[in-house]
Structure 1
Amino acid sequence: MNLKYLLGYFLLPFCALFLNAQNQVFFKPPAGYAVTSTDLHIHTAFSDGSVWPNIRVDEALKEGLDLISITDHLEYQPHKEDIPHPDRNRSFDIAIDRASNSELTVIKGAEITRSMPPGHINAVFIKDANKLLFPDDAKAAIVEANNQGGFVFWNHPNWERQRPDGIARLDPLHKELIRENLLHGIEVANHTTFSEEALTLALDNNLTVLGTSDIHGLTTWEFKIPEGGHRPITFVLSEDSSNAAIKKALFQGNTMVWFKDLMIGKAALLSNIIQANLTASNISYHEDEIIGEVKLKNHAAAPLHLHYKGPYTFHEDSSVFIIPPYSEKILQIKTLTRKTRLELPFTLLNGIVGAKQYLNFSVSTP
């Protein structure tokens, strides 16, 4: 094969990574808050991932993330003959060194890897991954993660290898962990899957809603980033962008998940974020017409699939329409009489607040 084509073949995914860097905020924060983009489930060659930890940092920087956690498997070490490492903190050390002098925060994490129950459990904001190694006692590892001040969540509870029917459900051990406040969150989106049942478990048990990449290969390939895709991201709504505030907000459940085109979270928080990212102009009229014009602006990286629920009809659109990311939409509204102000009620059809439940909210003109 011609050398230049061979080089192009191997360099293409890395060129795409640089050319598709995120240079706009994903979501504008509501007034008085910070919104932090995170991925809290990531693997490297130090467990069963395919890349060195520095690549995970480079990916996150190019994709515009604010915070990641390298969560290599504690017990599952398929590369140990090639990469023997007695220190389970090593991938974090390499990643944080790579992220130094950048805008990316890397926090220490690990994946407690067990059969069901409890399945795979992530612990982030921990101090020492080595102390979580309890070969014969999964609960002891979870207790130790809590003793270190860690935020602990259940990974892919719908994983077909552990739940052949794909249904997330609680076993007695999970109920015990929740009752003892040892389990704080649950993934409703993992890699390419979304679980309505996991979302129901989160809402019913006051668990924090999370979405993660669980990346093992290259994000640019697995999530088709050159074609406009993105990894699942958990956005944390906190008082400020400090690690302490982000950790506090995780424990409080102040999160929204962006999975494919879906925005998933508890209704009040999701409403706050959407209302900060969809704004309306003043209503205006042409000459003697009584068809008002309102410009809606989507400030977010996600498209907004909207269903208008109010009393009026539109001149050029049906009641269902989409505003693409970072775009504007002019609505011509048949108001029958001239109005100086309008309240526009919508259902966000890609805003998930429960199993088969969608976000209802309103936007008002100034």
Structure 2
Amino acid sequence: MKALLVLPILLCVCLCVQGQLRKQQFSFPNAGEYMVLKADFHQHTVFSDGQVWPTVRVVEAYEEDLDIIALSEHIEYRPHLNEFISHDHNHSFDLAQEEAKRYGVLLIRSAEVTRAMAPGHLNVIDIKDANPLEKFVNKQDSRDASTVIETLEEARRQGGFIFWNHTAYPSKDNKSHWYPIHETLKNKGLMMGIEIVNGERYEPIAFQWCLDYNLTILANTDVHTTMAQKRSADNFKVMTLVLAKEKTKEAVMDALREHRTVALWNNQLMGRKEHVEPIVGHGVVVRLTRVSEEKGLFEIENLTGMPFVFEFQELPEGFSIRNDVPCLVKENSVSALGASFKNGCPKTVKVKVKNVYVTPEQNLEMELPLVISER
């Protein structure tokens, strides 16, 4: 009887969501040879401990302007299981696949291995079949971590990419620690990345681990409720920016394995310099329009869906920009400042980007080309 009641409710939710689609434009220009794809590799549905039907996640991804999602259902924890006839761990992916094609969302088959700390929870994405992972679960204690290596080896055998989720949970002190098992997993090639952002929480130490151990940087929502409820609670976007050669599963997985990712959280970017610099460099245009021999209009156009905060560095002698430091340039907008130049105009402007990080403590510093024109 429960199943008969649940299904109409879920279908109602699906229809309501689909009936009022409003796609948010949240884009980034290509970063040189790479597309900048927006991904959330950690989501849940009713087929583990989430609260929505799989197709709703696809529609939400369309509305959020996400390019890629992964429905990472828990292997060990499925509290709604008795409500459904199917016990197949792949079922949420199968249900969402056609909807994903319809909305142009790249859907990647995945699962979440949910064990006690350490090692905690790990996502396995781009696997072929989630069901074989269940045979390693201790039926008396599903959180038993003694078979985690065998579980992850099965995921790797299927070609899966493995990353550590929410590094502070489920630690007893709610802090991130690098345990011996994490060293073992890294050395065995069974942990290829770390989720440095999980929903509202950013772990700077996890960012540093990615840099120190050459691991892929990820930021995901871990959404269980609707995305609207999640956004209302967090009040900012969370996603992984993937620098891929094209929008295909193969190109995305190549990018993950080659560490070409950047975390986006709370209007901030965290990533390696070689990855964040082209995102900013191709997302911003700096212009100087001469209005007289020594005066001009200095403009910064932001072509991306997030704001940037610039601090000008080492301006040439005789060249000045009248502004409050730092200079905020909102998303998809232009900021105009007065400028004066007694010794000519420079070809580039050196900036520190105050909301872009290349280490937990260090902002991105770079030079932006200056486009000069006459009024």
Instruction: Tell whether the structures are fold-level matches, with TM greater than 0.5.
Output: yes
Structure 1 residues 346 and 18 mapped into 2: Cα distance closer, same or farther (>3 Å)? farther
What is the deviation of 1:131?
Answer: 1.0
Deviations 1:35-92 (A, max 9, x none): 2111100000011001111111110011111111100100011112223532100011
Alignment RMSD:
2.2
Whether 2:132 is the aligned partner of 1:123: answer no
Count of paired positions: 347
Taking the aligned partners of 2:33 and 2:258, their CA distance within structure 1 comes to 17
Give 1:365's aligned amino acid.
L
2:309 maps to which of 295, 305, 308: 305
For 2:21 and 2:266, how far apart are their aligned partners in 1?
20
Q: Mark the runs of 5 or more structure 1 residues left unpaired by the alignment.
A: 1-9
Alignment of 1:14-25 (within 5 A): 18=20, 20-23=22-25, 25=26
Q: How does 1:119-158 map to 2 (within 5 A)?
A: 119-133=120-134, 134-136=136-138, 137-158=147-168
Displacement after TM superposition at 1:316 (Å) = 3.6
Identical-pair percentage: 28
Query: Which residue number corresponds to residue 296 of structure 2?
Result: 292
For the residue of structure 1 that corresponds to 2:83, the secondary structure is: coil
Deviations 1:168-192 (A, max 9, x none): 2211111011111111100011011
1:31 aligns with 2:27: no
TM-score after normalising by structure 2: 0.87
Distance 2:321 2:281 in 1: 24
2:356 maps to 351
Measured in 2, the distance between the counterparts of 1:304 and 1:74 equals 40
| Pair 1:277 & 2:279 matched | no
Match for residue 164 of structure 1 among 170, 173, 178? 173
Q: Under a length normalisation based on structure 1, what TM-score does the superposition of the two structures give?
A: 0.89
Which residue is 2:263 aligned to?
Answer: 257
State the match for 2:143 in structure 1: none
**Shift of residue 98, structure 1, vs aligned partner:** 2.1
Q: Which structure 2 segments of 5+ residues have no match?
A: 1-11, 139-146
Distance of 1:140 and 1:96 partners within structure 2: 29
Q: Post-superposition shift, 1:105? A: 1.3
* 1: CA distance, partners of 2:33 / 2:231: 32
1:67 and 1:315 map into 2 onto residues whose CA distance is 41
Q: How does 1:173-188 map to 2 (within 5 A)?
A: 173-188=181-196
Q: 1:197 aligns with which of 195, 205, 216?
A: 205
- 84 and 15 in structure 1: CA distance in 2 versus 1, 3 angstrom threshold: closer
The amino acid across from 1:162 in the alignment is: S
Offset, 1:99: 1.8
Residue 306 of structure 1 deviates from its aligned partner by: 1.1
Which residue is equivalent to 1:5? none
Contact 2:106 2:248 in 1 (8 A): no
Task: Provide the residue aligned with 1:219 in structure 2.
Answer: 227
Aligned match of 1:334: 340
User: Per-residue displacement from partner, 1:283-318 (whole Å, max 9, x unpaired)?
Assistant: 332234x13322211011110011111236755412
